[in-house]
A and B are shown apart, each in its own frame.
Chain A
Amino acid sequence: MYIIDRRLNPGGKSLANRQRFIRRAKAQIQRAVRQTAGDRDITDLERGGEVSIPADGVREPSFRRSGEGGVHDHILPGNKRFVEGDTVDRPPGGGGGGSAGGDNGEGEDDFRFVLTRDEFLDLFLDDLELPDLAKRRVATVETQGVRRAGYTVTGSPVNLALLRSMRNSLSRRIAMRRPKPAELLRLQEEIALLEEENSSDERLIELRQQLEQLRLRTKRFPYIDPIDLRYRRFEPVSKPVAQAVMFCLMDVSGSMTEHMKDLAKRFYMLLYIFLTRRYKHVEIVFIRHTHEAKEVDEDTFFNSPETGGTVVSSALREMQRIVAERYSPDSWNIYAAQASDGDNSPNDGNTSATLLRDEILPVCQYYAYLEVGSDSDRMQTGFINHKTSLWQTYETLQGQVANLAMRKVNHRREIYPVFRELFRRRDAEAGARVP
């Protein structure tokens, strides 16, 4: 008999099967994931979780008899009152004693299972892409770093590769037949012994000569030679900047309702999750504005009420200031998302447009403007082409610059589609447009 402990074997033997399964049911799982995302509180998105997909898509069909139709018979235990020939009313669920249901194999229920966090986010953000900004990246989105690149024969003592040097030394000593200390010691001992005994001189002389030769050889081939030395080599590489800053700009004047702020918050959360998937390090700056703008923390940003007029340019100016102070475009990827109900003071339109075009957009990777409306607004949009003042302002810019996107959202369930639309993969977009 053998006992084998398998507990330490690597786990995840089924991983390949799981990947095949997810690939197989990808469309359905993705739909389920998006549905779940809609139901879930948006802050929970980062956790994985249970999804359920229609069992139909991953069904394994086989030739089997259907449950209904045909004569079925059952052998059941636990007879209490029946005698042969009795008749029994058909139970409402069809099938006698419930055993017919078991014959159906897997039911038509939904198939529920748990996705890990990574799988969930992968599917959730699949086919989304940050806007393609390759040109900018070459110019500005790189930084210098060093990485190991083998060994070199020159270098500073700090970079001495001890192990490699010693290995070289050892192989050289073996190759040159440098005498081993033990060998010398043995000779010396033998000589000492012979000297004590005063025995045959020839032997003694011979040994002494031998010893002398070995000593000479030891000296000629040193233990460590400069040619043994190796140093660790480093080479400079340019690394893409793996950090991004996300500016959240929001109008908090009296006209913004809770509903609108909620929409804006959902959008920001999505953007944040998305950026954290792409960049190692993401910072967020919250700027809220009425007729004047202020950088605030998250809580204040979403919750504390404020009154005043609406001057959009104040927020843009604040963002410009912060960028200049803390986030040099050379080393930061800058994203901005602005949420507003579209009000702006009439004389601010031009200022905002110029500021945005000349100062903000050139340093940004992407600038998304999200116009949030109240739930009831949807009624109007159909037939009255109502455009807010801010929308009109930005619309003039849209033709001139590539990295400005604007969308209008009225209901929370539109957030995700709009988000997807904004970050749709480029080739998919191009493909859609070409024909």
Chain B
Amino acid sequence: MSLVEHDNLLFHGADWDFGTIQRIHDAVEAIGVGELGLDVYPNQIEVITAEQMLDAYASIGMPLFYKHWSFGKRFAMHESSYRQGLMGLAYEIVINSNPCISYIMEENSATMQTLVIAHAAFGHNHFFKNNYLFKEWTDADGILDYLDFAKGYITRCEERYGHAAVERVLDAAHALMSHGIHRYPRKKKPDLRSEERRERERHLHQEQTFNDLWRTVPTKGAAAKPALSDERRRALLELPQENILYFLEKSAPRLQPWQREILRIVRQIAQYFYPQRQTKVMNEGCATYTHYRIMTRLHETGQISDGAFLEFLQSHTNVTRQPEYDDPHYGGINPYALGFGMMQDIERICTKPTDEDREWFPDIAGRGDAMGVLRDVWANYRDESFISQYLSPHLMRQWRMFHLVDDPDQPELKIEAIHDERGYRRLRRSLSRHYDVGWSDPDIQVIDVDLAGDRRLILHHQVLNRALLHKDDAQRVLQMVANLWGYAVVLKEVEPATGAIFQEHVAHPHETFF
């Protein structure tokens, strides 16, 4: 084995140790930061076992989380399908925090660890640090501390008020999680220290102002207040409000302070994950493109062997495979494939543009500096805007995309557009709309409530394309809203154009909730 000393391979064979990981990281960093110009949080790489990976799955990938039965359910489900061999585990999980934590599995080969480090610790990491949505909505420095606070707070609530009471609030909050998000920036970001102080002060204030005498003071009949105008009343309650959890936290008349705090915790966490939902294609595209560039470069510079490179290519192609619509394996558009395809396409447009590209993308075609363009794209777009801006006719033709409309009033399905001159723009527009969460989540808003009257809460679902809510689920969630609100709740499904009401759900609170 005299040749060993002459090559500059990072590793031989599949085995690795911590020295190897360090070498791999340094080599990947040299390329990622040095050549590609990535800007990343410091990395923290944690080696975990399969069981710990399952644990992490159960709590949405976060290293610490409060306790809830639904996480146990998720764990049981994953564990059962993992043990039966129905499901492989992800190679990595990466957390948007500072330092950026990546979990890597102990059974991965050295090649896979290289891939994972390039993908997660540099690709995702760069995206987390630079994308405007993450900058706006998440606090990478504080998230782990916040989760720690949340976990501790909920545990204390369980001790003080009992598991069942806390569970009821959490169930309701989880059901409303998708409607507990501010979609537009508000005044300030949550910050751990003020959170904690606020909670403590709220509690202290309560203790200080407690005076048993008040109980004995005879009360006059409440003085009649001048009736507010409807508009003024709504304005005071910030109505209409699409963030239902926020509204309940602030305005539900019968909630205890700790119940409000739990709603707030769930809401904050939903908000933290909101950017991830909106950038799946871009995030994976960015990470996949990055690892592809880095791995190729490592191979070119002789730092990984041909065998390792082939191993990488095999798993890379698996990840970026897009079955066609009539393939039995088809399960929707693969975000890895679409993201990677588009990033490569942008690179092509920058370096080898065709006339068509010059017409469609005059500002980037032939600019040469592909990485510069990509870094800019990664920083300033989300899936919806990214696709509507950068999906090129070339890629649509390559994928042979078409647009199919299923209108229940028509006897047959209709092909609305295909990958041709007339269809490009329409295809692109409808695909980008699929990635707009504002469009894919049903639009439900708190419309009105008369706090001085019967306190009935009125919600509206603005029906889009005549697609109504899943009836059973809607009724269940509405029941939870009613429990939190403390009075009757009605949900109307409204056609926005005409104001016609398709359906009405009503729920009355269970008295046991309080």
B332 lies within 8 A of A22 (CB):
no
Q: How far is the CA of A19 from the CA of B158 in the complex (A)?
A: 14
Name the distance in Å between A55's Cβ and chain B's nearest Cβ.
Answer: 10
Query: Can you list, as one digit per residue, whether each of B463-502 has a CB less than 8 Å from chain A (1) or not (0)?
Result: 1111111111110110010000000000000000000000
- CB-CB under 8 A from A60, the residues of chain B are 70, 171, 174-175
| Residue among B70, B175, B420, B431 making CB contact with A84, cutoff 8 Å | B420
A-B pair count, CB < 8 Å, reads: 262
Instruction: Judge if A383 is at the interface, Cβ distance under 8 Å.
Output: no
B76 lies within 8 A of A21 (CB):
yes
Residues of B168-207 at the interface with A, using a CB-CB cut-off of 8 Å, are 171, 174-179
Q: How far is the CA of A1 from the CA of B18 in the complex (A)?
A: 12
B324 lies within 8 A of A113 (CB):
no
Name the distance in Å between B407's Cβ and chain A's nearest Cβ.
Answer: 5
Residues of B18-65 at the interface with A, using a CB-CB cut-off of 8 Å, are 18, 21-22, 25-26, 29, 42-49, 51-52, 54-55, 58-59
Known: A20-B68, A97-B330. Is A87-B414 also a contact (CB below 8 A)? yes
Closest to B461 in A: A63
Instruction: Judge if A88 is at the interface, Cβ distance under 8 Å.
Output: yes
- CB-CB under 8 A from B75, the residues of chain A are 14, 17-18, 21
- CB-CB under 8 A from B47, the residues of chain A are 3-7
- CB-CB under 8 A from B345, the residues of chain A are none
Closest to A50 in B: B80
Q: How far is the CA of A63 from the CA of B70 in the complex (A)?
A: 17
Query: Can you list, as one digit per residue, whether each of B396-417 has a CB less than 8 Å from chain A (1) or not (0)?
Result: 0001111111111001111111
Closest to A101 in B: B331
Query: Can you list, as one digit per residue, whether each of A3-41 has a CB less than 8 Å from chain B (1) or not (0)?
Result: 111110101011011111111110000000000000000
Known: A76-B401, A97-B325. Is A22-B72 also a contact (CB below 8 A)? yes
Known: A14-B58, A113-B76. Is A88-B412 also a contact (CB below 8 A)? yes
A78 lies within 8 A of B324 (CB):
yes
Instruction: Judge if A431 is at the interface, Cβ distance under 8 Å.
Output: no
B442 lies within 8 A of A64 (CB):
yes
Known: A5-B47, A69-B467, A96-B413. Is A79-B418 also a contact (CB below 8 A)? yes
Q: How far is the CA of A25 from the CA of B77 in the complex (A)?
A: 14
Closest to B422 in A: A84
| Residue among A23, A25, A68, A74 making CB contact with B404, cutoff 8 Å | A74
- CB-CB under 8 A from A100, the residues of chain B are 406
- CB-CB under 8 A from A1, the residues of chain B are 22, 25-26, 29, 42-45
Residues of A342-365 at the interface with B, using a CB-CB cut-off of 8 Å, are none
- CB-CB under 8 A from B468, the residues of chain A are 65-66, 69-70
Name the distance in Å between B88's Cβ and chain A's nearest Cβ.
Answer: 18
Name the distance in Å between B267's Cβ and chain A's nearest Cβ.
Answer: 15
B52 lies within 8 A of A17 (CB):
no
Instruction: Judge if B99 is at the interface, Cβ distance under 8 Å.
Output: yes
B44 lies within 8 A of A4 (CB):
yes
Instruction: Judge if B67 is at the interface, Cβ distance under 8 Å.
Output: yes
Query: Can you list, as one digit per residue, whether each of B151-175 has a CB less than 8 Å from chain A (1) or not (0)?
Result: 0000000000001000100010011
Name the distance in Å between B418's Cβ and chain A's nearest Cβ.
Answer: 5
B163 lies within 8 A of A20 (CB):
yes
| Residue among B76, B326, B411 making CB contact with A78, cutoff 8 Å | B326
B403 lies within 8 A of A71 (CB):
no
Known: A71-B408, A78-B325, A87-B412. Is A99-B79 also a contact (CB below 8 A)? no
Name the distance in Å between B244's Cβ and chain A's nearest Cβ.
Answer: 9
Instruction: Judge if A102 is at the interface, Cβ distance under 8 Å.
Output: yes
Name the distance in Å between A212's Cβ and chain B's nearest Cβ.
Answer: 62
Instruction: Judge if A86 is at the interface, Cβ distance under 8 Å.
Output: yes
- CB-CB under 8 A from A63, the residues of chain B are 176, 178-179, 441-442, 444, 461, 469, 473-474, 477
Instruction: Judge if A227 is at the interface, Cβ distance under 8 Å.
Output: no
A75 lies within 8 A of B467 (CB):
no
B22 lies within 8 A of A113 (CB):
no
Q: How far is the CA of A95 from the CA of B332 in the complex (A)?
A: 13
- CB-CB under 8 A from A88, the residues of chain B are 404, 412-415
Instruction: Judge if A61 is at the interface, Cβ distance under 8 Å.
Output: yes
Q: How far is the CA of A95 from the CA of B324 in the complex (A)?
A: 16
- Max chain A C-beta neighbours (<10 A), residue from B45, B76, B323, B417: B76
Instruction: Judge if A324 is at the interface, Cβ distance under 8 Å.
Output: no
Name the distance in Å between A95's Cβ and chain B's nearest Cβ.
Answer: 7
Instruction: Judge if B110 is at the interface, Cβ distance under 8 Å.
Output: no
- CB-CB under 8 A from B480, the residues of chain A are 61
Known: A96-B406, A111-B73. Is A75-B42 also a contact (CB below 8 A)? no
Closest to B398 in A: A77
B324 lies within 8 A of A77 (CB):
yes
Instruction: Judge if A98 is at the interface, Cβ distance under 8 Å.
Output: yes
Instruction: Judge if A433 is at the interface, Cβ distance under 8 Å.
Output: no
- CB-CB under 8 A from A5, the residues of chain B are 18, 46-47
- CB-CB under 8 A from B21, the residues of chain A are 3
A58 lies within 8 A of B44 (CB):
no
A112 lies within 8 A of B80 (CB):
yes
Q: How far is the CA of A85 from the CA of B415 in the complex (A)?
A: 5
Interface residues of B (CB under 8 A from A): 18, 21-22, 25-26, 29, 42-49, 51-52, 54-55, 58-59, 67-73, 75-77, 79-80, 83, 99, 103, 106, 163, 167, 171, 174-179, 322-327, 330-333, 399-408, 411-420, 422-423, 427, 430-431, 434, 441-442, 444, 461, 463-474, 476-477, 480
Interface residues of A (CB under 8 A from B): 1-7, 9, 11, 13-14, 16-25, 50, 58-80, 82-90, 95-100, 102, 111-114
| A-B contact list, 18 entries, CB within 8 Å | A3-B47, A4-B46, A6-B103, A14-B58, A17-B58, A17-B59, A17-B67, A24-B69, A58-B69, A62-B175, A62-B477, A65-B470, A69-B468, A78-B323, A83-B420, A86-B415, A95-B406, A96-B404
Known: A58-B70, A83-B418. 17 other contacts (CB 8 A): A1-B29, A3-B18, A64-B178, A64-B473, A66-B470, A70-B466, A74-B404, A77-B325, A82-B418, A84-B418, A84-B420, A87-B413, A88-B404, A97-B325, A98-B325, A111-B73, A112-B80
